[in-house]
Amino acid sequence: MSTTVLEHTIATAEAQVLQLLLAQDVDALQAWLSPSLFFSDGAGQWLGAHPCLTAWSTGQLRITALEQGAVEPLVCGQLTLVSSDVRLRYADAGGEHARALRLLRVWASASNAAGVHLLSIGLLPPRGV
C-alpha cells in the first residue's frame, strides 16, 4: 500500500472508529481493533487493556462527544502513528465528565477487510499542559 493510500485508509478508519464509539456499536468497533490492542501512559508504561474501553463495551460508560484537534500522521513502513489533542466528554455512573488529552494511535497493516487495525493507544497530556 502506498503512503498516500495508507494515510487515506487510516483517516477513513479513524472517522469510522469515532462514529462507532459515539454510536456505542461494540461489535462493529471490534473489527477495527487488533486482538492485542494495548494502552500506554505518558511515561510509556504499558497499561494493557484500558478499563474505560471495558466500561464502554459493557455500557457502563457512554461517550457523548469527542472533538479532535489537528491530526498528525506519520507512516513508518507497515505502521502509521497518528497523534492529536482530543476533548472527550463521557457519562458514567458518576455523572457527566470532560477530559482533555493527547492520543497517540498506532495503526498496523492487517489482513482484515479494511487493511488496517488499531494496535496501540498512548494516553498523553494535551499540548500546552
Which of 22, 101, 27 is closest to 63 using CA atoms? 22
pLDDT at 86: 96
pTM of whole model > 0.85?
A: yes
Question: How long is the chain?
Answer: 129
Contact 66, 105 (CB under 8 A): no
Q: At residue 129, does pLDDT exceed 70?
A: no
d(CA 2, CA 65): 33
Residue 79: is its pLDDT beyond 80? yes
With a cut of 90, say whether residue 127 has pLDDT above it: no
Domains of the chain, with CATH numbers? 3-124 (3.10.450.50)
Spatial separation of the C-alpha atoms in residues 28 and 108, rounded to whole Å: 18
Q: How confident is the model at residue 120 (pLDDT cuts 50, 70, 90)?
A: very high
Residue-wise pLDDT tens digits, 7-27:
889 999 999 999 999 999 999
pLDDT digits (tens, 9 = 90+) for 88-105: 999 999 999 999 999 999
Q: Which of 1-5, 40-44, 45-49 has the lowest mean pLDDT?
A: 1-5
Give the integer Cα–Cα distance in Å for 118 and 64: 21
